[in-house]
Amino acid sequence: MSINTPLLNGMLRKEKAFRDEIEWNQVNVMSFASRLARGGTLEQLLGDEHMQKYRQSLKEITHENVVNGRQVTAYMRALQHLAHDHDGRPNDGHHNNNNNNNNNVMDEDEVQAKLETAVKNERQKIDTNSIEITQETPYLELCKELGERQGNEDDEIAVVNNNMDEVALKCPLTAVLMEDPVKNKFCGHSYSREAIMNHIRFSGGRKKCVCPVAGCTNRTVDESQLEEDKLTETLVRRYKKRQQLSQKSQHSALDLDEEEDDDDE
């Protein structure tokens, strides 16, 4: 049984439009935050109490934008997986007449049922691997614009899973630790910026650029899908620091052993 492609494409267009709306909403939030941060006449007119209320409102809107953004991402990934799972599958039966083809196309209710399950699974994956909403880039940028500091450099991002190994932090294209990492908003995978840009550029002769992560169904990678990946950047920095501390600890232990050997002599 196949999927009604126009129906699926229509759903995808709606989600992209919703994502654009979320991004535009956040642009307006940042614009107003900039005005609040400048203070001056606006601060005199509103007073400190109202200024604080507006600041809190901007944070709440940003929080909602992040939540909605995650939901849109889950929905778009689910749509893509659904399309990929049914792409090119032969219809049941031995006849390919129009009536038979129509009977083998899922109707809207069937698509919605499958989609709901897929969205739920994708959302669980996102929530499991995500950072705290107040540590997401839009929220951090808002706090910075408002002149508020969110922790020190090492605590810049509160990671749910701090035990990521080196393999998870390597670029799928270069096979080394990611540099200037960017994240694909569509499939959620991260890459070194220069590496993925070269990958897209070198794929220019083909209609589609495939995500380099094995098993990924994203076959339409382009620059518009990429965004700055603060989480991975911080994880890489922390990993490097842990490695440096580990090496220093090993050197210190060796030096101590040598001193003890000298004392024994």
Q: What are phi and psi of 191, to 5 degrees?
A: -150, 165
- Across the chain, mean pLDDT equals 76
pLDDT in tens, 71-129: 888 888 888 777 766 654 433 344 444 444 455 666 677 777 888 888 888 888 877 76
| 3-class DSSP assignment, residue 205 | coil
pLDDT in tens, 110-123: 777 888 888 888 88
| pLDDT, position 176 | 94
Spatial CA neighbour of 55 closest among 157, 155, 148: 148
Q: List the domain boundaries for the chain.
A: 1-151, 163-265
The mean-pLDDT minimum among 17-31, 37-51, 55-69 falls in: 37-51
Where residue 39 falls (left for φ over 0; alpha for ψ -120 to 50; beta otherwise) is left
Helix-helix angle 108-129:5-38, to 10 degrees: 40
Q: What is the pTM of this model?
A: 0.57
> In Å, how far from its chain's centre is CA 254?
42
CATH topology of domain 163-265: Herpes Virus-1 (3.30.40)
Spatial CA neighbour of 218 closest among 81, 35, 54: 81
Tokens of 36: 């609040």
Neighbour tally for 238: CB within 10 Å: 16
Please tell me the total number of residues recorded for the chain in this structure.
Answer: 265
CA–CA dist 145, 141 (Å, integer)? 6
Spatial CA neighbour of 3 closest among 121, 115, 107, 122: 107
| pLDDT, position 2 | 55
pLDDT in tens, 160-219: 444 456 778 899 999 999 999 999 988 888 999 999 999 998 887 555 788 998 878 888
| pLDDT, position 155 | 45
Share of the chain above pLDDT 70, in %: 70
Pairing of the two strands 226-228 and 181-184: antiparallel
| pLDDT, position 95 | 41
